[in-house]
Chains A and B, each alone.
Chain A
Amino acid sequence: MNPIDWIVLLVTMVGIAAYGAWRTRHTDHLDTYLKGSKSTRWGTIGISVMATQASAITFLSIPGQGFESGIGFVQNYFGLPLALIIVCAVFLPIYRKLGVYTAYEYLGQRFDSKTRLLGAGLFLLQRGLAAGVTIYAPAIILSSVLGWSLNLTIIATGLLVIVYTVTGGSAAVSLTQKWQMGVIFGGMVTAFLILLARLPAGLGFGGAAHVAGAMGKLQAVDFSFDPDKRYTLWTGIFGGLFLSLSYFGTDQSQVQRYIGGASLREGRLGLMFNALLKIPMQFFILLLGALVFVFYQFEPAPVFYNRVEWSRHAAGPGGAAFRALEEKHAALHVVKQEKIRAWLDTRDRGDSAAEPAARAAMVAANAATDVVRKEAKAALTAADPLAKTKDSDYVFIGFILAQLPHGVIGLLIAVMIAAALGSKAGELNALGTTSTIDLWRHFRPLAAHDEVRNVRAAKWLTAFWGAVAIVFALFAGFSENLIEAINILGSIFYGVVLGIFLVAFFLKKVGGTAVFWAAIAAQTLVIVLYNVLTISYLWYNLIGCAACVVISLGLQAALGGKPSLATDEHG
């Protein structure tokens, strides 16, 4: 990065944070602090919902996923539009009608205190753990490739987000997310256009897509019923539906984004905005990764894309073996380039007789380079069992740094940091709100009517969770595959929480005691099954939810009589 990149980065990031903090510095009413401005329109709500979900890992890992495995990951989002329709039709009207601050407050009104605390506790546990990952994941990658101090990156980004989230609460989060998403969209479209311009002359988008397709990178939809396959149409629609329903309907970091706003209409339109745009947006990011793959077919490509990790070992005592692998890969890469050009030539000539053989030769050449990449990863593990062998997260950032002009590099780094700040702010805001409303205010009911004291408590608790996330990120060792770790963690807890809410909405005869113990039993079942079975983790959303609903019905029937009445009266 040169001074131009630094100027672009600092002006956009610090400028947006300072603007958000300054515009919302007089937010001293609890309602505004926790739910945001009542004049918020659907566009801001829609962008805020999108920004909270899209973390920095979305823009670092997902292009890498498109590069490595193709665009099939888009199926993970197939349940999302259906889930948002259900949230709009069922969840949102109830939350607004009751005027709750948190989703778990509703559980207290519908069931009892213990069920409310269970819901809030599961949220704080799951989201509190994820908050550390949200801040750590981009920091580890950015610090590695840019040579920044990891701890300094974590502390700087963490403090920046704490300042404006604590100052302006929900209003500041929504306001800054709007500008941050502007930077993100601008940066990603710029990267896409430059990438297209950098493809070999005459290839164009169509030719690049044909190369990517022939190499198996554009299999967007998999209709197979194999339950062990992680991403298929069916895991996406059914598992993804339950994951999305739980995330958007019951996770406070999302609920908080849409329960405020000018009216129910604005919240609904904001969610429908996401229902329409989310799949195309994820497709675009994955496609960007697939096109980066094509780009490197015509350029010298490294055998391993985490160059810092590779160089560290290549400079060690076993360096000769690493250099031999690099040379072997480079030679096979040249052969592959020839095969690709030969295949494109048969296509241009319309030689349908020679085309199948040329395609098979190209695919075989690609498989040969893949084998060397696997050998390189095995060599890294042999040299150091703790070596980071997943390099797909480094593909897109490596492309940005090596191929984009200065200024645009700063803009793209700003994209990553903007995404990190946006999602982090949504999480902190929700953690602070849930701690204030469902714990602090619940256990100190006499303080419930003291507006100033409530806002002060909310600010302290938001800052507390920000500090927890920073400390967690500084001292915890995380799984290498971070985005999957977050999704797996979510899938283990989300299904049961969704089950509690579905019982609350649709099974009026089931009371608090039955659903509470059913949730405990269902959560235990999911954890046991996760350790025993090898099925796609998305299915645990469905299993946890179904188990909670069925056991609730069974327990209520066994308990007999009328359900226990709601005993929770404290907002």
Chain B
Amino acid sequence: MRPKPDDDDPPGVPGFRTWRGVYVFVFVAFAVVVAALALFAHVYA
């Protein structure tokens, strides 16, 4: 049996089965951070 290509390794992060899921999570986290910064500026303006 041929070894699995390096690229197909699962992320091994609890809750994530694919790298696509990790990327979506990071993107959503980025959007949340930008929204939180805008909210922070609004609250303390």
Contacts and interface: CB of A to CB of B under 8 A. Distances in A.
A264 B6 contact: yes
A272 B12 contact: no
B23 A209 contact: no
Contact of B33 (A88, A93, A210, A279): A279
A109 B10 CA distance: 28
Contacts of A283: 37
B36 to A, nearest CB: 9
A212 B41 CA distance: 10
Nearest to B12: A265
Contacts, number: 71
A352 to B, nearest CB: 16
A362 B14 CA distance: 51
B6 A221 contact: no
A233 B11 CA distance: 31
A89 B37 contact: no
B30 A279 contact: yes
B7 to A, nearest CB: 5
Given A97-B6, A275-B26, A221 B19 contact: no
A272 B6 CA distance: 18
B20 to A, nearest CB: 9
B26 A269 contact: no
B45 interface: yes
Nearest to B6: A264
B1 interface: no
Dominant secondary structure at the B interface: helix
A104 interface: no
A74 interface: yes
B41 A88 contact: no
B41 A272 contact: no
Interface stretch (A78-86, A374-382, A404-412): A78-86
Contacts of B40: 218, 220
Contacts of B43: 213
Contacts of A265: 9-12
Contacts of A85: 23, 26-27
A280 interface: yes
Interface in B3-43: 6-7, 9-13, 19, 22-23, 26-27, 29-30, 33-34, 37-38, 40-41, 43
29 contacts: A78-B30, A81-B26, A82-B27, A82-B30, A84-B26, A85-B26, A93-B7, A97-B6, A97-B7, A209-B44, A212-B44, A213-B41, A213-B44, A218-B40, A218-B44, A218-B45, A219-B45, A263-B9, A264-B6, A264-B7, A265-B10, A265-B12, A268-B11, A268-B19, A268-B22, A272-B26, A275-B30, A279-B33, A279-B34
Interface of A: 74, 78, 81-82, 84-85, 88-89, 93, 96-97, 209-210, 212-214, 218-221, 233, 263-265, 268-269, 272, 275-276, 279-280, 283
Interface of B: 6-7, 9-13, 19, 22-23, 26-27, 29-30, 33-34, 37-38, 40-41, 43-45
Given A214-B45, A220-B37, A269-B11, 10 more contacts: A78-B34, A81-B27, A81-B29, A84-B26, A221-B34, A221-B37, A263-B6, A265-B12, A275-B26, A280-B33
